[in-house]
């Protein structure tokens, strides 16, 4: 848990008016209930990022919230990464032996963890089969964070056998909903404006961070922050930058790191390094999982933030950048389309050329960049702050357990 665990009162100065009072009223109806979250990693990626802040805030609202993590070996995470790729639409080979091991690891986790709660929320496919071991009491919800708009059918059919045993499913966007015999809800993910990743930083702090990272600030910075994952299209970002570079003297920073449940990162990182070649204006930063302040500083120092994903469950990095007043150019996919207001807070694009065109357009219009950044911050304040998320989860708790 964060040692600077946030209290709900602190959000009065950032969230829209009335939000905190509303949360206090809502939480009165579910005080003392146990709300357990289970996922597959404590660090790296958006789900861990959210739970790390959301769980202590729920406790501050007198909900007994807890967070458990399943444990797996390399073979398990290779399988679940293949699942992840298949569910987001890339054809994969998944053998019977892989499926059996996946179920076995879940059985072992079920035996080890205390899976009790008035509401148990299981995040993503990795721990989905835990539902086989659900106790008689309590409601179970499967919370899916990935882009399920076009899954490989066989893999979804397999996972679905677990999903139908839940009381409800929660998706990040309506487009990800499936044909299921259980109720489905939509909850947008969120960012925490008071976390180390998003709190305001002084100029001095920003410069100190960039200095330590070896990122000069003498040229406009184009930035993409993401795990080294092919769906984030880091090589496409490099190709867009190369087109832009013919017209504008900019620097590209690709900042990322791994997640303990993502075994492909190292391979993708070396592909990215190879694509970057010897260009001194491309900086590829492999950051540790706790580099929150560094990412905050990079996002604040950037002129334009890019998230050129080809598939994206939500894309917290988009909201993070908008909160810092930056225009964002993102792949027209998944949650990115629901965050970027086209032509207002940034642009969604479908190709390397499209991204390059929009980057050039913005670099030539500094006033527009500024206005888009301001609009982006307000859009996040209204829709994608952790307080909004908390409201949705508390409503679910009220709805399912009353």
Residues 298, 92: Cα–Cα separation, whole Å: 35
Which residues in 151-190 contact ligand UDP (CB under 6 A)? none
Among 257, 330, 346, 376, binds ligand UDP (CB under 6 A): 257
* Contacting range for ligand UDP; rule: CB under 6 A; set: 65-73, 225-233, 348-356, 393-401: 225-233
CB of 313 to ligand UDP, least distance (A): 6
Provide the total of helices (H) and of strands (E) in the chain, helices listed first. 14, 12
Structure tokens at 343: 């032509």
* Contacting range for ligand UDP; rule: CB under 6 A; set: 4-12, 66-74, 132-140, 223-231: 223-231
Nearer to ligand UDP by Cβ, of 27 and 333: the residue is 333
Nearer to ligand UDP by Cβ, of 50 and 141: the residue is 50
Nearer to ligand UDP by Cβ, of 241 and 314: the residue is 314
Neighbouring CB atoms inside 10 A of 307's CB total 29
Q: Does 79 bind ligand UDP (CB under 6 A)?
A: no
Residues 189, 173: Cα–Cα separation, whole Å: 10
Binding to ligand UDP by CB under 6 A, coded x per residue (else -) over 36-75, reads: ---------xx--x--------------------------
Structure tokens at 146: 């990935």
Which residues in 192-221 contact ligand UDP (CB under 6 A)? 197
Among 227, 251, 326, 379, binds ligand UDP (CB under 6 A): 227
Strand locations in 199-295, DSSP E?
A: 221-225, 251-256, 282-286
Strand locations in 257-365, DSSP E?
A: 282-286, 304-307, 328-331, 346-349
CB of 326 to ligand UDP, least distance (A): 13
Structure tokens at 142: 């499967």
CB of 295 to ligand UDP, least distance (A): 5
Nearer to ligand UDP by Cβ, of 255 and 396: the residue is 255
Residues in the chain: 402
Rounded to 5 degrees, what are φ and ψ at 304?
-135, 140
Residues 265, 107: Cα–Cα separation, whole Å: 27
Nearer to ligand UDP by Cβ, of 303 and 307: the residue is 307
Residues 80, 58: Cα–Cα separation, whole Å: 29
Neighbouring CB atoms inside 10 A of 282's CB total 21
Binding to ligand UDP by CB under 6 A, coded x per residue (else -) over 362-381, reads: --------------------
Strand locations in 164-220, DSSP E?
A: 168-171, 184-186
Which residues in 5-24 contact ligand UDP (CB under 6 A)? none
Q: Does 316 bind ligand UDP (CB under 6 A)?
A: yes
Question: Secondary structure of the chain: what % helix, strand, coil (to 5)?
Answer: 45, 15, 40
Q: Does 225 bind ligand UDP (CB under 6 A)?
A: yes
Q: Does 256 bind ligand UDP (CB under 6 A)?
A: yes
Interface with ligand UDP (CB under 6 A)? 45-46, 49, 197, 225-227, 256-257, 287, 291, 295, 314-317, 320
């Amino acid at each position: 848990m964060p040692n600077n665990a946030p209290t709900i009162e602190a959000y009065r100065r950032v969230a829209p008016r009335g939000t905190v009072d509303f949360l206090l009223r809502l939480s009165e109806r579910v005080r003392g209930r146990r709300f357990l979250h289970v996922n597959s990693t404590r660090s790296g990626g958006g789900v861990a990022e959210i739970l790390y802040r959301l769980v202590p805030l729920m406790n501050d609202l007198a909900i007994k919230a807890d967070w458990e993590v399943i444990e797996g070996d390399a073979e398990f995470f290779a399988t679940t990464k293949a699942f992840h790729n298949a569910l987001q639409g890339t054809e994969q080979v998944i053998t019977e032996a892989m499926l059996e091991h996946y179920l076995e690891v879940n059985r072992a986790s079920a035996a080890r963890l205390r899976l009790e709660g008035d509401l148990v929320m299981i995040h993503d496919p990795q721990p989905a089969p835990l539902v086989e071991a659900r106790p008689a009491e309590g409601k179970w919800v499967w919370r899916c964070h990935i882009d399920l708009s076009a899954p490989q059918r066989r893999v979804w059919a397999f996972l679905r056998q677990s999903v139908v045993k839940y009381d409800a499913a929660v998706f990040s966007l309506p487009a990800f909903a499936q044909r299921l015999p259980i109720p489905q809800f939509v909850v947008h993910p969120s960012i925490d404006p008071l976390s180390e990743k998003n709190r305001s930083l002084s100029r001095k702090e920003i410069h100190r961070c960039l200095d330590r990272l070896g990122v000069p600030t003498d040229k406009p910075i184009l930035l993409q922050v993401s795990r080294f994952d092919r769906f984030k299209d880091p090589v496409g970002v490099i190709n867009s930058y190369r087109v832009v570079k013919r017209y504008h003297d900019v620097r590209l920073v690709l900042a990322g790191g791994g997640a303990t449940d993502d075994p492909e990162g190292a391979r993708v990182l070396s592909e990215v390094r190879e694509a970057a070649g010897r260009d001194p204006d491309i900086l590829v930063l492999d950051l540790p999982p706790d580099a929150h302040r560094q990412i905050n500083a990079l996002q604040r120092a950037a002129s334009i933030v890019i998230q050129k994903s080809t598939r994206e469950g939500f894309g917290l990095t988009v909201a993070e950048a908008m909160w810092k007043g930056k225009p964002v150019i993102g792949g027209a996919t998944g949650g990115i389309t629901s965050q970027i207001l086209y032509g207002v807070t940034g642009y969604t694009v479908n190709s390397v050329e499209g991204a390059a065109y929009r980057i050039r357009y913005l670099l030539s219009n500094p006033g527009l960049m500024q206005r888009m950044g301001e609009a982006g911050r307000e859009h996040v304040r209204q829709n994608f702050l952790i307080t909004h998320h908390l409201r949705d989860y508390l409503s679910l708790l009220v709805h399912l357990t009353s």
